[in-house]
Amino acid sequence: MPKAKAKQPSKKRAGKSSGISPAVLAERLVAGDRAMLGRAITLIESRNEQDRPRAQELLLRLLPHGGRSYRIGVTGVPGVGKSTFIDTFGVNLTGQGHRVAVLAVDPTSSRTGGSILGDKTRMEHLSRDPGAFIRPSPSAGTLGGVTRTTREVMLLCEAAGYDIILVETVGVGQSEIAVSEMVDFFLVLAIAGAGDELQGIKRGLLELADMIAVNKADGDNKERALRAASDYASALHIMSPRSPNWAPPVVTCSALKNRGLDLLWSKIEEFRDSLTASGEFDETRRRQRLRWMWAMVEDRLIGDLKHNVTVKTIIDALEEDVLEGRLTPAMAADRILGAFKKSY
């Protein structure tokens, strides 16, 4: 019996939308075809070089339909209740007539390369809501827990008519700057009753926060949550705010009991109104587009370098020399870059 052909790794496959032209895909996506949104994201996330021109044509066609959502980043340490919060918060928003897209970035194992991708099961109510779209994506080791295509996926969701986009980050202590630079509002979830609260969250993260919400403020934990909120408010008071037009508030809430989320949302709306009136909101979006451009340049350069034929011929020997201490990392890096430059 002949052996069955081995399946190719998923990263080598073309997107599921390979039989659909970018023009048709864009038209159906804008018309609200939910299945087309999933296919479009698959195409954008593909690492197959053959898919790149089609993906970029699709994005170009959708640019006029982008930028119409309110982008909110949600982060916090593991165990703070991010998924429960987004589940309840998202259902509240769809109940008000909003269409909510959730980009839930799962941590990718640095050892196995696998990711959990279980956010749909943790958001049991929102996952069944016809006004919501949840897309779990592996972070693939990206700092800040953001996939390399998160910005582009946001554009697709906006074109599909989703006016609120929630980006749930890994929240494992990596650089959250990447998240704050691609959303309009950066919400930091905190928790009380876990020792010294201010030691449980990085100063740098506090400086990025547009608001801190102490979650799980219910039952016996309510008083501790209020004390923690007071501590965070004191800490923020001595820090320089990111915006001259906004002083980050601290609120308490219980996602499990759906308490305090209306106040939290009103603060988020107040933020948008304040920065829009000052012109800062639109200016921030403009700067984000430039950062997006340079982030893509870096991503493409690293990809081209790793796949360069000349570099491939020397990389194994250089890695071995670094491992055995025969060469410094800086010297090895110089040789890799030198070989890359000479190949052009």
pLDDT of residue 204: 72
**Who wins on pLDDT, 122 or 157?**
157
pLDDT at 141 over 60: no
Contact, 288 vs 121, CB < 8 A?
Answer: no
Q: Which of 185, 206, 148 is nearest to 265 (CA)?
A: 185
Which of residues 17 and 156 earns the better pLDDT score? 156
- Look at residue 106 and tell me whether its pLDDT is greater than 80: no
Among 37-41, 69-73, 175-179, the least confident range: 175-179
Radius of gyration for the alpha carbons in the chain, expressed in angstroms and rounded? 22
Tokens of residue 26, six digits: 């864009």
- Torsions phi, psi for 278 (to 5 deg): -85, -10
* Alpha carbon distance 87, 127 (integer Å): 8
- Opening angle at CA 148, ends 145 and 152, nearest 5: 115
Q: What confidence tier does 140 reach under pLDDT thresholds 50, 70, 90?
A: low
HSE at residue 173, side-chain half, CA atoms within 13 A, is 3
Q: What is the mean pLDDT of residues 217-222?
A: 92
* Of 169, 235, 224, the residue nearest 201 (C-alpha): 235
User: 10 Å Cβ neighbour count for 225?
Assistant: 25
65 close to 159: Cβ distance less than 8 angstroms: yes
Residue with tokens 């219910």: 218
DSSP state, residue 343: T
Hey, which residues does 231 pair with through a beta bridge?
none
pLDDT of residue 6: 44
Per-residue pLDDT averaged across 45-72, rounded?
A: 91
DSSP state of 15: P
Cβ(90)–Cβ(166) below 8 Å = yes
Q: Which residues pair with 185 in a beta bridge?
A: 72
Phi-psi region of 190 (alpha: psi -120 to 50; beta: other; left: phi over 0): beta
247 vs 226: CA distance, rounded Å:
19
Q: What's the average model confidence in pLDDT over 292-319?
A: 90
Alpha carbons 76 and 189: distance in angstroms, whole number: 5
The whole-number average pLDDT for the span 210-220 is 94
Nearest to 76 by CA among 163, 194, 159: 194
Query: Can you tell me the mean pLDDT for 14-21?
Result: 62
45 to each of 16, 31, 67, 136, 267, how far by Cα in Å? Answer: 11, 22, 20, 12, 33
pLDDT score at 198: 55
Structural domains for the chain: 12-65 (1.20.5.170), 66-276 (3.40.50.300), 292-342 (1.10.287.130)
User: pLDDT-based confidence at 155, cuts 50/70/90?
Assistant: very high
Q: Which residue has the higher pLDDT, 1 or 83?
A: 83
Contact 99, 67 (CB under 8 A): no
| Averaged confidence pLDDT in the chain | 84
Least confident stretch, 116-120, 151-155, 176-180, 247-251: 116-120
Query: How does pLDDT run across 168-200, given as a tens digit for each residue?
Result: 886 555 557 778 888 999 999 998 865 445 555
Please state the three-class secondary structure of 67-114 as a single string: CCCEEEEEECCCCCCHHHHHHHHHHHHHHCCCCEEEEEEECECCCCCC
Ramachandran category for residue 271: left, alpha or beta (phi over 0 → left; psi -120 to 50 → alpha): alpha
Confidence of residue 137 (pLDDT cuts 50, 70, 90): low
pLDDT beyond 60 at 58: yes
CA distance 104 to 169: 7
Confidence of residue 32 (pLDDT cuts 50, 70, 90): confident
Distance CA 130, CA 334 (A): 53
